[in-house]
Amino acid sequence: MNKDKFVFFDVETTGLFPDKGDRICEIAAIKVFNNKKIGSFETLINPQRAMPYYAYNVHKISDDMLDDAPAFSVVADSFVDFLENSILCAYNINFDLGFINACLRRCYKPALNLRTIDVLKMARDLLGLKRYKLFMVAEFLGISNPMCYHRAMADSFVVWEVFNKLIDMIAQIGEVNPDVLVKKYGIN
């Protein structure tokens, strides 16, 4: 694990469907090496559309907060550069990566092609819970005051903590190998 960089990231959005016009309104990421934070990336994103009430109810990001925020196209290159040579980790990574890649396509940029680990997939494999909402998994694993506020940076930190607890469980039964993790819990 000590040769690889990991990026724990999360997005907040205007809805659930990037192919139906929903957009990213916040993105955050934490870069980790040897289980120490070595960098972070965080910004609100102007989705260039009004914030639906149901989305605002989830993350409390308002149109007023986004008025002066950059469009995704403005931050796309710096975000992609931040991710370079890292293993991407998110909770339900298909959702977050689906939005990021949809935004990249709209900017005429290639989709991300990095190794991934879905921390939700890990939790489902290792824990015997009925429900797997991030805050429920965090509480089950003994993470005190999990800050799952549906804000990108707070949730990125919780995903990192959940990942560490799950890695500890894997280490108790065998070697922790990033390539095996990517193969078992990654996406194509």
Active-site residue set = 150
Q: Which tokens belong to 8?
A: 């724990």
Please report, for residues 8, 33, 72, 97, 134, the alpha-carbon distance to residue 75 in angstroms, rounded to integers and kept in the order given.
Answer: 18, 23, 5, 16, 27
Strand partners, 183: none
Residue 185's closest CA among 91, 117, 113, 133? 117
Kind of pairing, strands 116-118 and 86-90? Answer: parallel
Q: Which tokens belong to 93?
A: 């990574």
Kind of pairing, strands 5-13 and 24-33? Answer: antiparallel
